Chain A
Amino acid sequence: MKRYFAVLLGILTAIGGFVDIGDLVTNAQVGARLGTSLVWVVVVGVVGICVFAEMSGRIAAVSHRATFDLVRERLGPRMGFLNLVGSMLVTLLTFIAEIGGVALALQLVSSVHHLLIVPFVAVAVWIVLWRARFSSIENVLGLMGLALIAFAVALWQLGPDWGELATGLSPAEKPDAESWATYAFFGVALFGAAMTPYEVFFFSSGGVEERWTEKDIGVMRANVFIGFPLGGILSVAIAACAATVFLPAGVTVETLGQVGLPVAIGLGKIGLAVVVLGFFAATFGAACETGLSTGYSLAQYFGFPWGKYVRPREAAGFHIILLVVTVTAAGVLLTGVDPIMVTEISVVFSAIALPLTYFPILVVANDPDYLGEHVNGRVANTLGVVYLVVIAVAALAAIPLMIVTSMGQG
C-alpha cells in the first residue's frame, strides 16, 4: 500500500513539476498566435524529455552517477568544462526567469510591483534550499502545481468549438498572418520549454540523492512515462485556452496576467485563484530545482560533496554556489529586465544547450560498464538516435530563427 502511494505521489509531483514559467508563457503565446497548430511540437518534446529522463534516471539508479559526472567522464575536463559553463548559464537564465515568475504571480495577488517582491522571493528560495528537506520541496510544490489542472477545466468550461480545435492541430492550419519562420521559431521555443535541460539534471541528481537502486527503475519509469505526458497535457490545455480566448481577439500574450485570463473567463474567481496558486507553486518549485541544478552541476563536475542529504557544513561549496546564484538572479531581475522576456530567451537557449548533455547521456546509456544488463534496448536506442537528430536540428536552427524573426516579433 505504501509503495503504491509512493508511486502515485511520484507521478503526481512529476505532473505538477513538469510545467514551469517557460511552459506557461510559451504555450500561452503560441496558443494566442498560432492556435493549436504547434501542439505536435509539445508531443515531440514530451516524448523527448521522457527518453532523456528515462536514460539518465536509469544511469542514476544503476551506477549512481548524475549528469555532470558523466559529462566530465566522457568528454574530459576541457570539453566537459565548456559544456558545464554552457549548461550552467542556461540553467541560471531559467532560474532568473523562475524567480521572476514567482514575483509576477505574487504581483497578481498583491498588485505590488514585482521588483519589490523579487528580493523576498530570492530570500525565500534560498532559505528553502538551505533548510528544507529535499523530498518535501518536491512533494509539496509538485502537488500544489497540480492546481494548473484548472486550465483543463477552464478549457472545458469555455466550451470551445472542439472540432475547430482538432482541425487546428494540423500544421497546415497555421494562421495566415504568421510566417513560417515565426512558426518554426515558436516550434523551437516550445520544444525548448518542454525539454528544459535542468529537468534532467535535477531528476538524475535527485535519483542519486535518494539512493535509487536497480529496484527503483520501475518506479522511476512510472514517474517519467505517466507523469511527464500528463504534465504535457497541462501544457496543451494552456495553449488551447489561449487559442480559444486570445486568437479570435487578436491578443498576443506578454504578461503572466494574460496567461491566467482565460481561466478567469471560464471559471471565475475561484478558478483563477487556483491557477495563480498553480503559477506560484510551479515557478517556485522550478526555481528551487534550477537553483539546486546549478549547484549540482558544478559540484558533480569538481567532485566536491553535494546534495541536500549531506550536512551544509560538509557541502559548504555546494551551498555557497546556491547563495551566489540566488544573489545573481535577484541582482539581474532588479535591473528591471522583464521576466517574461528572460523566459522567452531562456526557452530558446534551452533548446540550444540540449545537445551538450543529451549526447554524453546517450553514449553512457549504451555503456555496459555503467549499466550492465540495463543498457539501452533497441527501442530506447532508436528513439535516442532520432532525438539526437531532432535536438541537433533544433539547436542549430534556434539562433538563425531568433535573428530572422527578431524573437518571434515579425
Chain B
Amino acid sequence: MKRSQRPTVVAVLLVLPLVLPLVLLGGCGVVARPDAAAWDDRAAQALTDAGSQVATVRLALASAGEGRTWSSYTTVLVVQAEEAAGRAEEDLARVQVPAARADTAAAVLDLLDRAVDLVAEARARAVAGRYDDAGLLDDLDRLEGDLRQAAP
C-alpha cells in the first residue's frame, strides 16, 4: 500500500461501521419496515397529500364550472392531481404495516382508495367538459374533510 493512501483507507474503515447501521435503521432496505410511530407519520403524510390533491381538484372543477379556466388548463391540473393522489396511495400501500396498526392501515388505505377513485371520476368529467355537477363537488368536499380528519 502506498503511504499516501493509508489515511484514506483508515478513514473509510472508520466511517463504514458508523454509516452502515444508520442506513439499515433508516429503512433503506428493499421493503420499508417502519415502526408504529414512523408508520403513523407516513400515513399522515399520505392522507395530507391526498387531501391536497382532492382540494386541488375541487378548486379546479369549481373555477372551471364558473368559466374561469379553459379546458386544457383544467385537464392538466386534474390529471396531475390524479397522478399525485395515486402516488400517495401506492407509496403507503408498499410499506410493511406494523402489527399494531393493522386495523388503522386498512381504514387509511380504504380512504385513500376512495380518494383516488373520486379524483379519477372527477378527471373523467373534466376531460368530458362536464363541470357543473354539484354532487361531485360536494363529494369532493366531504372526502376532503374525511381525509383531513383521518390525518392527525
Q: Is the A/B pair a real complex?
A: yes
Check if B67 sits within 8 Å of A268, measured CB to CB: yes
- The residue among A109, A111, A255, A257 with the most chain B CB atoms within 10 A of its own CB is A257
A157 to chain B, nearest CB (A): 11
Contact assessment for A269 and B69 in the assembled complex, using a CB-CB cutoff below 8 Å = yes
Q: In whole angstroms, how far apart are the Cα atoms of A249 and B84 in the complex?
A: 17
B148 and A250 contact, CB distance less than 8 A: yes
With the chains together, A272 CA to B48 CA distance in Å?
27
Residue pair B77, A255 in contact (C-beta under 8 Å): yes
Indicate if A405 sits at the interface (CB-CB under 8 A): no
Q: In the complex, which residue of chain A has the Cβ closest to the Cβ of B73?
A: A108
Pairwise interchain contact A250-B48, C-beta atoms closer than 8 A: yes
A261-B63 contact given A108-B76, A111-B76, A272-B68, CB 8 Å threshold: yes
**Closest Cβ–Cβ distance, residue A175 to chain B (whole Å):** 12
- The segment from B3-11, B13-21, B50-58, B103-111 that touches chain A is B50-58
Taking a contact as CB atoms closer than 8 A, the residue among B73, B75, B144 that contacts A264 in the complex is B73
A269 adjacent to B70 (CB under 8 Å): yes
Q: Is B96 at the interface (CB under 8 A from chain A)? A: no
Contact partners of B48 in chain A: CB under 8 A: 250, 252
- Distance in Å: Cβ of B144 to nearest Cβ of chain A: 8
- Residues of B53-90 at the interface with A, using a CB-CB cut-off of 8 Å, are 55-56, 58-60, 63, 66-73, 75-77, 80-81, 84
Known: A251-B55, A258-B77, A261-B59. A269 touches B67 (CB 8 A): yes
Q: Give the residues from 52 to 92 in chain A that come closer than 8 angstroms, CB to CB, to chain B.
A: none
Instruction: Assess whether B59 is in contact with A249, with CB atoms less than 8 Å apart.
Output: yes
Q: Which residues of B contact A265 (CB under 8 A)?
A: 59, 63, 68
Which residues from A are CB-within-8-Å of B70? 269, 272-273
Candidate in A108, A109, A272 with the most chain B CB atoms within 10 angstroms: A108
Closest to A33 in B: B52
| CB–CB B69/A264 < 8 A | yes
Q: How far is the CB of A9 from chain B (nearest CB, A)?
A: 32
Contact at B68–A269, with CB atoms within 8 Å? yes
B77 touches A268 (CB 8 A): no
- In the bound complex, CA of A107 to CA of B41 (Å): 34
- In the complex the two chains form, what is the Cα distance from A269 to B67 in whole Å? 7
Min CB distance A24 to B, Å, is 15
Contact residue range for chain A? 20 to 34
Q: Which residue of A lies closest to B127 (CB)?
A: A111
B76 surroundings in chain A (CB, below 8 A): 107-108, 111, 255, 257
Q: Does A245 contact B (CB under 8 A)?
A: yes
**Chain A facing B: main interface SS:** helix
Assembly CA distance A261 to B41 (angstroms):
29
A109 pairs with B52, CB closer than 8 A:
no
B60 contact set on A, CB distance < 8 A: 257, 261
Q: Is the CB of A108 within 8 A of B56?
A: no
Q: Which residues of B contact A268 (CB under 8 A)?
A: 66-68
Contact bitstring B8-50, A, C-beta under 8 A = 1, else 0: 0000000000000000000000000000000001000100110
Q: Are A257 and B80 in contact (CB under 8 A)?
A: yes
Contact with B along A245-289 (1 / 0, CB 8 A): 100011110110110110011011100110010000000000000
A245 to B51, CA, bound (A): 15
Q: Which partner residue on chain B sits nearest A271 by CB separation?
A: B68
Q: Are B55 and A249 in contact, with the CB atoms below 8 A?
A: yes
- B residues less than 8 Å from A276 (CB atoms): 73
Complex alpha-carbon distance, A258 and B57, angstroms: 10
Distance to closest chain A CB from B68 (angstroms): 4
* CA–CA, A399 and B148, complex, Å: 31
Contacts A250-B48, A257-B73, A257-B77; A264 near B68 (Cβ below 8 A): yes
- Answer yes or no: A136 CB below 8 A from chain B CBs: no
**Interface: A135 (CB within 8 A):** no
A110 CB–B CB distance under 8 Å: yes
- Chain A hits for B45, CB < 8 A: 409-410
- Asked, given contacts A250-B148, A258-B56, A261-B63, whether A110 binds B72 with beta carbons under 8 Å apart, the answer is yes
CA A42 – CA B70 in complex, angstroms?
Answer: 32
Closest CB of chain A to B145's CB: distance in Å?
A: 10
Q: How far is the CA of A259 from the CA of B75 in the complex (A)?
A: 15
Cα separation A251 to B140 with both chains bound (whole Å): 13
* Residue contact A251 to B68, C-beta cutoff 8 Å: no
Q: Enumerate chain A interface residues (CB-CB to B < 8 A).
A: 107-111, 245, 249-252, 254-255, 257-258, 260-261, 264-265, 267-269, 272-273, 276, 409-410
A-B contact pairs, 22 of them (CB 8 A): A110-B72, A111-B75, A111-B76, A249-B58, A249-B59, A249-B144, A250-B48, A250-B51, A250-B55, A251-B52, A252-B49, A252-B52, A254-B80, A255-B81, A257-B73, A260-B73, A261-B63, A264-B69, A264-B73, A268-B66, A276-B73, A410-B45
User: Which residues of B are interface residues toward A (Cβ below 8 A)?
Assistant: 41, 45, 48-49, 51-52, 55-56, 58-60, 63, 66-73, 75-77, 80-81, 84, 144, 148
Sample of 15 more A-B contacts, CB < 8 Å, known A257-B80, A264-B73, A268-B66 = A245-B59, A251-B56, A251-B59, A255-B76, A255-B77, A255-B80, A255-B81, A257-B60, A261-B56, A261-B59, A264-B69, A265-B63, A265-B68, A268-B67, A410-B41
- Which 3 A-B residue pairs are closest in the complex by CB-CB distance? A111-B72, A257-B77, A249-B55
